[in-house]
Amino acid sequence: MNSKAIRLLKIALILTVVMANIGCDQVSKHIVRERISSADYISLAYNHFHLMKVENTGAFLSLGDGIPAPIKFVLLTLLPIVVLLGGLGYLIYQKKIATIPLIAACFIIGGGIGNVYDRLLYHSVTDFMHIGLGIFQTGIFNMADVSVSVGVIVFLGYYYWQGRGKKRAIVEV
């Protein structure tokens, strides 16, 4: 396969993974917006998994909810758009990047775009899932958050396992 065909295949992979993450996020949020009211609290899996609708106008765990609107727009919408588009451009134009980190980055970018899209369209992000297993309790999250988390975990796991096989240089002082 020639280099142009490989490049086009790589771009197709990037766009497919990013769009699949955005699609899963937006479809799930659409269903929640249409079928779950803010007063609903649905318990599943022996009361360990809950569905509810929360419109989050802040960042992770509603952090920054109270900051002024112009600053919030810059920090939670404009800056993420620049970073996500820059990351997408980097993935597309970077010639040498391993497949696993490439896919992990696509998950992160897809999740980020899903949440930024909500901020642009609805001025909030729809969160709707909560996990509670004894003392382990999550905040309320959505599929975009799952995408970002999976991407970060895959990145960390990949680079951890890559580093285990290499000898580390010891610097003596």
Nearest 5°: the CA angle 124, 147, 94 is 110
Q: Report d(CA 151, CA 119) in Å as an integer.
A: 21
pTM for the structure as a whole: 0.90
- Of 40, 65, 118, 127, which is the active-site residue? 127
| φ, ψ for residue 16, nearest 5 deg | -65, -45
pLDDT in tens, the chain (173 residues): 788 999 999 999 999 999 999 999 999 999 999 999 999 999 999 999 999 999 999 887 777 888 899 999 999 999 999 999 999 999 999 988 999 999 999 999 999 999 999 999 999 999 999 999 999 999 999 999 999 999 999 999 999 998 876 654 444 43
Our answer to whether residue 145 is catalytic in this structure is: yes
Nearest to 33 by CA among 46, 16, 52, 8: 52
- Which amino acid does the sequence have at 132? G
- pLDDT score at 173: 37
Token pair 């609708």 is found at 53
What are the extents of the domains in the chain? 38-163
- pLDDT score at 167: 54
Tokens linked to 168: 């580390």
Nearest to 132 by CA among 39, 31, 50, 12: 50
- pLDDT score at 53: 97
Q: Report d(CA 44, CA 67) in Å as an integer.
A: 35
Tokens linked to 106: 């696509």
Token pair 């065909």 is found at 5
- Of 25, 65, 118, 145, which is the active-site residue? 145
Our answer to whether residue 118 is catalytic in this structure is: no
Residue 141 is given by DSSP the state B
- pLDDT score at 165: 65
Tokens linked to 135: 């003392």
How many residues belong to the chain? 173
Tokens linked to 103: 């896919």
Residue ranges of E strands in 45-172: 49-56, 125-133, 136-137
**Is the Cα dihedral 9, 11, 16, 18 positive or negative?**
positive
- pLDDT score at 65: 81
- pLDDT score at 109: 98
- pLDDT score at 164: 76
